[in-house]
Amino acid sequence: MTGPDSTGKGKKQRREPFDYSLLLVVLILVGFGLVVLYSTSSWNGQVKFADKAYYLKKQFFATSLGLAAMYVVSGIDYHRWERLAWLGYLLSLVLSTAVLFFGDEYNGSKRWLSIGPLSFQPSEFAKLAVIVLLASVISRRVKKMTSLKQMFLVMLLILPIVGLVGTNNLSTAIIIMGIAVILVFTASPKYLQFIAMGGLGVGFLAIFLSVESYRLERLAIWRNPEAYEKGYQTLQGLYAIGSGGLFGVGYGNSMQKLGFVPEAQNDMIFSIVCEEFGLLGALLLMLLFLLLVWRLLMIAVHVPDLLGSLIAAGIMGHILIQVILNIAVVTNTIPNTGITLPFVSYGGTSVLFLLSEMGLALNVSRHVRQEP
């Protein structure tokens, strides 16, 4: 993808400091997320920790770190990160391997590493590392990307991290695979190869599903949640969505968050948004995500070099896939995969690296050439 013609005669060009529209949407989403999180988590916080603001305080701390990271990263030329692409990817492999042996288990999933009082999810770092690595690799061999063989070699590059992450976090593995497919397609938009890669991804997913019996059980629960005890969370989430109606029951007035939807502040927070703000509130939230994706798409289209275009496209793909998966899970459109809603669900590691990605996108937007 290339930007506007920089050789046009008689046309002066200037660089914008960054994309203010993107920044505004991100800040609105972050603010909305904190407001909703307090309402959703206050009951759990009071019951478990005798502090209604327990989850809000932790999220606010992580968000503050994330905003600081976004500010710092937005001021660093994105070309510099290319030098660290392989190091970042190797680090993600090491951390993801460490989780398998030394990770903390929570709600049956071993996804966290603890360093002193702090814990984080290496899989969140892996998404960012994969975006930067693939953007670097593909931009360097873009002329060869018309070959199906080269496309599969690029996909083969990320299989180690997909395998490691997918062991305990299939949803994140799906997101990483999706990011890779989008970046390959961005560099060489040929539909036959795109379909072939999609088939490879489906095959890989089928292998993961067949390895662990509990994943096949999730498929059965998805088809008939009423018949399984583990379908309780899905049913309660659907009740929350239905009870919200068109305009919702009002901020803070949700009944389903009072222990009916387990851990409502995490994966199922969209159901509480629907209950308290109604269908209109849910649509407005989805509109914000669409605006965010649109701004990232515009940056990818208009940045002058392919590296920047691929970085923006990778971040766009990450947000788009994760939002679609979360909403699809909450509405029981697909089986439960345990994926958070970006900027809204509780999760310090998630918001920290999401805001870091936004800082990277803002820096790419600084290089978009605009004609007055």
Range of the domain at 261: 15-370
For the chain, what is the largest distance between any 2 Cα atoms, rounded to a whole number of angstroms?
70
**Is 7 within the bounds of a domain?**
no
**Is 294 within the bounds of a domain?**
yes
**Is 179 within the bounds of a domain?**
yes
372 residues of the chain, pLDDT tens digit each: 444 443 444 444 454 578 899 999 999 999 999 999 999 999 999 999 989 999 999 999 999 999 999 999 999 999 999 999 999 999 999 999 988 888 777 766 677 787 777 778 889 999 999 999 999 999 888 777 667 777 778 888 898 998 888 887 888 888 998 899 889 888 776 666 667 666 766 666 666 655 555 566 677 777 777 777 778 888 899 999 999 999 999 999 999 999 888 888 989 999 999 999 999 999 999 999 999 999 999 999 999 899 999 999 999 999 999 999 999 999 988 888 778 999 999 988 999 999 999 999 999 999 886 544
Residue 134: in which H helix or E strand, if any? helix 122-140
**Is 125 within the bounds of a domain?**
yes
Residue 157 · residue 137 · CB < 8 Å: yes
**Is 1 within the bounds of a domain?**
no
Distance, CA of 271 to CA of 32 (rounded, Å) = 15
The neighbour count for residue 30, using CB atoms within 10 Å, is 21
Copy the structure tokens of residue 123: 């899989």
**Is 8 within the bounds of a domain?**
no
| Nearby residues of 7 by Cβ (< 8 Å), 6 or more positions away | none
**Is 182 within the bounds of a domain?**
yes
**Is 4 within the bounds of a domain?**
no
Structural domains of the chain, count: 1
Residue 296 · residue 361 · CB < 8 Å: yes
